[in-house]
Structure 1
């Protein structure tokens, strides 16, 4: 893929940041943007009609991701954050081609892989959806920067549905986490990457399983640091906004999404239905 020359001259700092995921998981990234970049306007899209992406074909994920990216461009977003590992692993190239150099595209895998590759790690584990694990993108991205790191990836498909159903700090999630993290694949890891933006919602339970034996990488902070650096580089940081606006769109409004999203982002969330 020949990379299109970036031209952000038509963008301004007041434009919103666009962010999308298959469901509530991307709100962990949106929440971090709100914390680290409190003056930024946001447009969030949760593709609740088609979740979980991790069980879908690559062709389906590409279709969802490019339609949502088109919508975010129509909403005049100055950057697009693909806050979904499955979408990043399967549709990043297509979203970048669609955007055609008009706005920066930030994904949730490459910034994390690069940071991990340049820190002191030997054995790294990744838990993620089937679509992310089957792509092998975490292993490829980490080893591109540091070929001496051993990377093992484990598909953990039951976690996203459990989270979307509201089972946090619950015997159901305790049992799922125990069964997955006890897998022999992860036996000798020193570091665990949460390769799905839903998973930080269970980070306390995951850390509890490991105690202090394994370092757990919480991706949203790394991703938003990358976003901040890119916006700053292109003079697109919004620094004069005292009343940021947050817009939330979903492809299907569910009671669970409404309830969980308010817990993550705050009670001010108003969901708008947008079928793409």
Structure 2
């Protein structure tokens, strides 16, 4: 059966890219998009009022994700990046239904799963929130492309609250990481997928635990490259050299978000409160 060809000819390259997450985690994706596509205008929505998404019901996550998507559509975005694994695992279908192919939607699970599937991996571990692990989407997505890969998923629910509280390079995160990564489910893995966009903020601590024994996948880079490929394919890459703009909307203003966003995007950024 022929798939319908997507037509995005009504979109303009100088329209912004919308990115959303439950909090600071999606900033790891936004930072990589900024690095790879420095001319692109970005609008970021951090749903800090409702984090962490990982312990919420599927219905609640769908509600949050669709309201944010509606907001980004109102902001005239030319593409939406769901920079949240939990929202992808629980609300991707609803977001796609809402967008109705008006603009491209890029999620953070399928591009990573596809890339891992076609590289040399045998035993893959995934650490993620409870809601992402319960969905089983990583395992399904990877094994859809390569049924010979063994995938073990482990819920690591304490990591997001620790990151949102600013516990980086801290005895608290060292202890949590050690306890989770020592779990027997991850005993024989050769590759680890950080199945939450918050987790790259602890990348060095996670690599320190493993030494060189386990390859840790750089998910934000994979997602940013997927976005670039899709925008390029549809002639939507911004070539305007006048300077990119970055807008940040939060459902609750937090000190840690302010600290990390300014670190990634500079001190002059403006954080706006927007309750949906």
State the TM-score, normalizing by the size of structure 2: 0.97
The C-alpha deviation readout for 1:151-206, integer Å capped at 9, x for no partner, is: 00000000000000001011110000000000000000000000000000000000
Does structure 2 retain, via aligned residues, the 8 Å contact 1:126–1:152? yes
CA drift of 1:214 comes to 0.2
Q: Distance in 2 between matches of 1:242 and 1:125?
A: 43
- Aligned residue pairs total 274
Matches within 5 A, 1:1-276: 6-276=6-276
Task: List runs of 5+ in structure 1 lacking aligned partners.
Answer: none
Does structure 2 retain, via aligned residues, the 8 Å contact 1:5–1:101? no
CA drift of 1:264 comes to 3.2
Task: Extract structure 1 runs of 4+ deviating beyond 2 A.
Answer: 3-7, 263-266
SS of the residue 1:6 aligns to: coil
Task: List runs of 5+ in structure 2 lacking aligned partners.
Answer: none
CA drift of 1:240 comes to 2.0
SS of the residue 2:260 aligns to: helix
Q: Distance in 2 between matches of 1:122 and 1:5?
A: 35
Q: Which moved more, 1:237-246 or 1:166-175?
A: 237-246
Does structure 2 retain, via aligned residues, the 8 Å contact 1:127–1:192? yes
Q: Pairwise CA RMSD of aligned residues?
A: 1.1
Q: Which moved more, 1:234-243 or 1:102-111?
A: 234-243
State the TM-score, normalizing by the size of structure 1: 0.97
Q: Distance in 1 between matches of 2:268 and 2:28?
A: 16
Q: Distance in 1 between matches of 2:19 and 2:176?
A: 28
